[in-house]
């Protein structure tokens, strides 16, 4: 076990102290200065394991692009923002112009002011609900519907070849219990 001892000695003092009982080894003697191999456990981040499936469901159900969903997630986290905040966020063609985002109901006015730059805006109620649903499905608080009336991926005549595979993933996701540390994660 000389390999294990040298790998442990290369860890920081705290990492060495807290890794008791966890094997820490280099992949091989030749790769002594490469990354060490050990178990990493992060409590509370496992809600992202089904990101791809939930994202596809949300996009198809609400007929939005991934780029729009990214923008919604950013603006939802900001709660309230100004025109300059909006321009500072990365956007794509669909909602590139502030006026078109406002006119299309993507965002809405919260606080009016005589000076345009001092007006405050927020994500529209519809888009806030989409983001809340997205988080609820990710955390497992809500189950993705398996009925074709509520889930466009469950239709018998599949539009996309991957829909059958995604529905299998959804059925497995819905069987999983909600973990205690992900309950009410996004409220």
Tell which wins on pLDDT, 177 or 37: 177
**What one-character DSSP code corresponds to residue 178?**
P
Q: How many Å apart are CA 167 and CA 158, to the nearest integer?
A: 11
Q: pLDDT tens digits for 156-169? A: 766 667 777 788 88
- Of the ranges 7-16, 20-29, 47-56, 69-78, the best mean pLDDT one: 69-78
Q: How many Å apart are CA 143 and CA 121, to the nearest integer?
A: 31
Tell which wins on pLDDT, 21 or 61: 61
Q: Nearest Cα to 93, choosing from 103, 85, 101?
A: 101
Domain range list for the chain: 2-31, 47-182
Inter-axis angle of helices 51-62 and 125-139, nearest 10: 150
Question: According to the model, what pLDDT value does residue 173 have?
Answer: 83
- Helical H runs in the chain? 2-9, 13-18, 51-62, 66-78, 83-88, 98-103, 125-139, 163-175
Tell which wins on pLDDT, 112 or 159: 112
The predicted model gives 147-159 an average pLDDT of: 74
The predicted model gives 121-131 an average pLDDT of: 93
Q: How many CA atoms lie within 13 A of 118 on its CB side?
A: 4
The predicted model gives 105-132 an average pLDDT of: 89
CATH architecture of 47-182: Orthogonal Bundle (1.10)
pTM: 0.67
The predicted model gives 143-147 an average pLDDT of: 85
């Amino acid at each position: 076990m000389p390999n294990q001892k040298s790998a442990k000695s290369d860890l920081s003092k705290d990492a060495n102290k807290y890794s008791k009982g966890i094997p820490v080894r280099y992949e091989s003697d030749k790769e002594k200065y490469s990354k060490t191999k050990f178990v990493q456990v992060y409590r509370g981040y496992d809600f992202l394991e089904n990101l791809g499936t939930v994202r596809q469901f949300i996009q198809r159900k609400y007929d939005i692009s991934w780029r729009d969903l990214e923008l919604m997630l950013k603006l939802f986290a900001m709660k309230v923002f100004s025109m300059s905040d909006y321009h500072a966020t990365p956007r794509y063609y669909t909602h590139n112009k502030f006026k078109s985002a406002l006119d299309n109901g993507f965002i809405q006015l919260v606080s009016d002011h005589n000076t345009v730059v001092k007006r405050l805006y927020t994500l529209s109620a519809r888009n806030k609900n989409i983001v809340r649903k997205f988080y609820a499905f990710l955390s497992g608080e809500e189950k993705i519907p398996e009925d074709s009336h509520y889930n466009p991926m469950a239709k018998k005549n599949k539009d996309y070849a991957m829909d059958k595979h995604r529905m299998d993933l959804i059925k497995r996701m819905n069987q999983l219990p909600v973990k205690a540390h992900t309950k009410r994660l996004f409220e």
